[in-house]
Amino acid sequence: MKSIVCLFVLSAMCGHALAADYQVEKGSTLSFSGTFQGETFNGSFGKFEARISYDPGNLDASKFDVTVDLASVTTGDKDRDAALPGSEFFNVGKFPSAHFVTRQFKRSGDEVIAEGTLTIKGVDQPVDLAIKFDAKDAGASLDVSTEVKRLDFDIGSGDYADTSTIANEVGIKAHLELGAKR
């Protein structure tokens, strides 16, 4: 009888195996694109932390937890770079970071979608990330993309709330080089 109970416990544990834990390596990027006065611009965040647990064969055990230092934003335009950390945009004095955490992962045909919550300026919004995961010998690469509406997070208040000047839609992409967590 004990052997049957042990076999049952082991089989239940195998069904809930943990996903592989990864650490973010050099060469990883977090970028965004928007439109200002009809012209597309690109930007990036130089500082972010990501805790990644992922197994494409066991999505229930997978999890992303990402924190972004909003003051590390750069776009290549000194006026825009000076304005973005300010109170009308990210307000980094009060809200220094953005945070994304997954709720669940789903398959949609050949695509995997990470459903999660993005928090910026104290505002939580549901956000879905399209995922491309590529396992490698010593780790993996992970590409994610999504689009958010900046006004949903109160980014760009006052005159900057005008969507004819600054588009509401912001594309977000990340390319993460992942190594096995040490």
Instruction: Dump pLDDT digits (tens) for 150-180.
Output: 999 999 988 899 999 999 999 999 999 999 8
Mean per-residue pLDDT, 43-51: 97
Alpha helices in 16-159 (DSSP H): 78-83
Note whether 47 and 69 are within 8 A (CB). yes
Q: Is the pLDDT assigned to residue 7 strictly greater than 90?
A: no
pLDDT, tens digit (0-9, with 9 covering 90-100), for 65-81:
999 999 999 999 999 99
Its pTM stands at 0.88
pLDDT, tens digit (0-9, with 9 covering 90-100), for 123-151:
999 999 999 999 988 899 999 999 999 99
By DSSP bridging, strand 39-45 and strand 48-54 are: unpaired
* Residue extents of the structural domains in the chain: 18-180
Using alpha carbons only, what angle is made at residue 100 by residues 97 and 105, rounded to the nearest 5 degrees? 175
Whose tokens are 């042990």? That residue is 6
Topology adopted by domain 18-180:
Lipocalin (2.40.128)
